Structure 1
Amino acid sequence: MNWENFNTIAYKVLRLAYINILWLLFCILGLGVFGIFPATTAMFAITRKLIIGEKNFKIFPAFWKYFKQDFMKANGFGIIILLTIYLLYFDFKFVQQNNNFQFLLPILIFIFISFIITLIFFFPVYSHFKLRFFQYIKQSFFIAITSPIELISIGASAVVIYFVMTLFPGAIPLFSGSVFAYISTILSFRAFNRIEKKKNTLSEVH
């Protein structure tokens, strides 16, 4: 590895650390609950810019811009996500404590899996597409069920990052969120591009 390649990699690592610090700070700025979702959408938006090679922007002003403009919408999705988690938790507890409703367990498991795979692709989809409110959820689910390789890869990367962070907790403030955003966005791009090629092929056929 020559010095120029080393500098390029080091610069990328530093930017990811900077983005992760901003993510944590803006989560705190929004009092945690109200900050985590707009901060996460901003993190994915900035990460997307880095991946597509956009250079004419400064990270902090861009992060602040995305945080502000998506604050209400991101928290709207946040309410839906948290409400879904709560309802699923309550329903699982209810079924466990009432044997007469055990038949509902497979349905709840199906809903839970659908929720998780949709959530995996939600933030990359949100940062990449301009859609109507509920179309983000629909599109995330559609891409998830048609992209098993990318879905498994993103899930595996999340597990690996989790275990690395448990081994090196000092890296949590620097890389816990941004590295996952970077990897999941790259993998999501593969899914987006493949689906787009299929659409173009079908359009040419018709």
Structure 2
Amino acid sequence: MQSTLGKLFTICEWIMKLAYVNLLWLLFTMAGLIVFGFMPATVSLFTIVRKWQMKETEVPVWDTFLSIYKKEFTKSNLLGFILIICAGFILLDLHFINGLEGVLQLMFFVLLLIISALYFITLMYLFPVYVHYDLRVSEYIKNSCLLGILNLHLTLIIAASAGSIIFLLLYSPAFIPFFSAVSITWILMYGGMYSFRKIEARQKHRQPEQFRHSGLSRHI
């Protein structure tokens, strides 16, 4: 009986922790007027989830979230600005392609479809790479895309899992304020950590410069 109650208590505790960090994400996103708050709040959320997945379950959530939010505010927003520009170019290209006809339209559409797929693959790995490695802004984009391509089977599984979560949340919108961002973050971070372990296992004695592992020293 005590064992069962202990497990139930642990489950309830984790439900509360997940809801709490999701609410923090919403709060800090709004605090930055969404436009300037989304990126640092998301980086903070991924940092917390990363620590939990690395068995640091007693991490002080509020202090860590606030510290990362302030520390990564400028750098993460710069990265977000680059992503917005890239998305804008994709939309402009789509508008341009709609004005074409025949084979030329088909060729450019296929090319744009490939570019769009690479863009979304990059987004899937971007935040896990950001919180796990200490790189330059441009390297986050490059390495996120490479990770997604090199682990294409895992990328498809992650995309399907995240899509399923989104579908369930839309079916039960009452859970969105409490578990929307954190549930998707957990899936993306889990896939990212799996990819990182594979890389580090292959390169125990020799790590490439673009994948300098930051350990636990990158974020507090």
Quote the residue 2:7 is aligned against. Answer: 5
Residue of structure 2 equivalent to 1:169: 173
Identity of aligned residues (%): 33
2:187 to 183, 186, 190: 183
| Residues 21-57 of structure 1, C-alpha deviations (whole Å, 9 max, x = no match) | 0001111000011111111011000111111111453
1:23 and 1:43 in contact (8 A); partners too: yes
Provide the rounded CA distance (Å) in 2 between the counterparts of 1:85 and 1:191.
26
1:175 and 1:152 mapped to 2: Cα distance? Answer: 22
Equivalent residues of 1:18, 1:174 under 8 A apart:
yes
CA drift of 1:202 comes to 7.6
| Structure 1 match to 2:114 | 110
Listed as ranges, the matches of 1:53-132 within 5 Å are 53-99=55-101, 101-102=104-105, 103-132=107-136
The counterpart of 2:17, out of the listed 2, 15, 28, is: 15
How far apart in 1 are the matches of 2:134 and 2:53?
18
Is the aligned partner of 1:146 residue 2:150?
Answer: yes
- Aligned residue among 31, 39, 42 for 2:41: 39
For residue 104 of structure 1, report the CA deviation from its aligned partner.
Answer: 2.0
SS at match of 1:34: coil
Give the TM-score taking structure 2 as reference length: 0.87
Q: Which runs of 5+ in 1 are unaligned?
A: none
Moved more, 98-107 or 54-63: 98-107
CA contact (8 A) 1:150 1:188 kept: no
**Is the Cα contact below 8 Å between 1:51 and 1:186 reproduced in 2?**
yes
- Count of matched residue positions in the alignment of Structure 1 and Structure 2: 203
- Aligned match of 1:196: 200
Give the counterpart letter for 1:193 in structure 2.
R
CA RMSD for the aligned pairs? Answer: 1.7
Gaps of 5+ in 2: 208-220
